[in-house]
């Protein structure tokens, strides 16, 4: 875990509240506007920022994020410029953790070793790469952890934080629920059953029980994020 991430969640735990995790796609609609938004997020209350790395085929994202990636690519955004944006952000803010989120292909083309070195020097704190299964940990996950970066892939638990875990299994009341991950993080699931907002499809929902049991207060580091969707 990077020192920025540790300090941020330690402070949040001391204040008794969860983290507000926000997302934006780097370079959307253009580099300058995107950088201005990035720099404004901490002032607006963001505790952790997920910065999307634009990709031509964001298969695990919804139409809103897909469109934002295409706009960014059309405006000339590249992985190198995304790292440069992070470096520019760090000139004024060295406290807010930044997690790069995206897909493996751009990183592979960039070169894993070079990418990890440049990401670390730019001030990146973690990675979310949704299309690398656990069987491919040696490709990026293990090198990233060795470099000191938090890492989350699809259906894995390698991040050194106890975040909210989306659990699609149903307990005996037949209710899908969010629960706190007991291990080393949360798996970032591709949306087979849920959208980026964690909402089950109508056909996957189950009736809720009339009476809810009292919820035991859990201790740990929690992060609350909000997805993006288009209006009907």
Q: List domains and CATH numbers for the chain.
A: 3-161 (3.20.20.70)
- Over the stretch 48-72, which tens digit does the pLDDT of each residue have? 999 999 999 998 899 999 999 999 9
Query: What average pLDDT does the segment 123-140 reach?
Result: 92
Query: What average pLDDT does the segment 16-44 reach?
Result: 97
The answer to whether 114 and 80 have CB atoms below 8 angstroms apart is no
Q: What pLDDT score does 224 carry? A: 54
Half-sphere exposure of 161 (CA within 13 A, CB side): 32
Respond yes or no: is residue 50 known to be catalytic: yes
Q: How many CB atoms lie within 10 A of CB 78?
A: 16
28, 47, 61, 118: which one is catalytic?
A: 61
Q: What pLDDT score does 228 carry? A: 54
In this prediction, residue 193 has a pLDDT band, given cuts at 50, 70 and 90, of very low
**C-alpha–C-alpha distance, residues 116 and 169, integer Å:** 35
Reduce the DSSP state of residue 225 to 3 states and report it.
strand
Respond yes or no: is residue 61 known to be catalytic: yes
- The separation between the first and the last C-alpha atoms of the chain, rounded to the nearest angstrom, is 40
According to the per-residue pLDDT averaged within each range, which of 9-13, 165-169, 221-225 is highest?
A: 9-13
Question: Does residue 122 or residue 154 have the better pLDDT?
Answer: 122
Residue 85 exposed, middle or buried by CB count within 10 Å (0-12, 13-18, 19+): buried
28, 47, 50, 118: which one is catalytic?
A: 50
Residue 113 has pLDDT above 90, yes or no: yes
Residue 125 has pLDDT above 60, yes or no: yes
**C-alpha–C-alpha distance, residues 135 and 131, integer Å:** 11
**C-alpha–C-alpha distance, residues 52 and 68, integer Å:** 9
> How many residues are there in the chain?
232
Residue 161 has pLDDT above 60, yes or no: no
Instruction: Enter the DSSP assignment of 6.
Output: H
**C-alpha–C-alpha distance, residues 138 and 135, integer Å:** 8
**C-alpha–C-alpha distance, residues 117 and 144, integer Å:** 10
Mean pLDDT of the chain: 77
């Amino acid at each position: 875990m990077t020192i920025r991430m540790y300090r941020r969640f330690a402070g949040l735990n001391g204040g008794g509240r969860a983290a507000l995790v926000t997302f934006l796609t780097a370079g959307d609609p253009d580099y300058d506007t995107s950088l201005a938004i990035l720099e404004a997020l901490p002032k607006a209350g963001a505790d952790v920022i997920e910065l999307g790395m634009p990709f031509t085929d964001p298969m695990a994202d919804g139409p809103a994020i897909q469109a934002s990636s295409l706009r960014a690519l059309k405006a000339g955004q590249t992985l190198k410029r995304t790292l440069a944006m992070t470096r520019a952000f760090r000139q004024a803010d060295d406290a807010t953790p930044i997690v790069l989120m995206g897909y493996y292909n751009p990183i592979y083309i960039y070169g894993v070793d070079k990418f990890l070195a440049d990401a670390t020097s730019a001030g990146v704190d973690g990675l979310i790469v949704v299309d690398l299964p656990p069987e491919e940990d040696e490709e990026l996950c293990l090198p990233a952890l060795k470099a000191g970066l938090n890492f989350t892939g699809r259906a894995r638990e390698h991040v050194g934080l106890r975040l909210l875990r989306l659990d699609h299994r149903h307990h005996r009341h037949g209710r899908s629920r969010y629960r706190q991950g007991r291990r080393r993080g949360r798996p970032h699931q591709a949306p087979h059953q849920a959208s980026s907002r964690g909402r089950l499809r109508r056909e996957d929902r189950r009736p809720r029980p009339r009476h809810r049991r009292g919820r035991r207060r859990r201790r740990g580091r929690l992060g609350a994020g909000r997805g993006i969707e288009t209006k009907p």
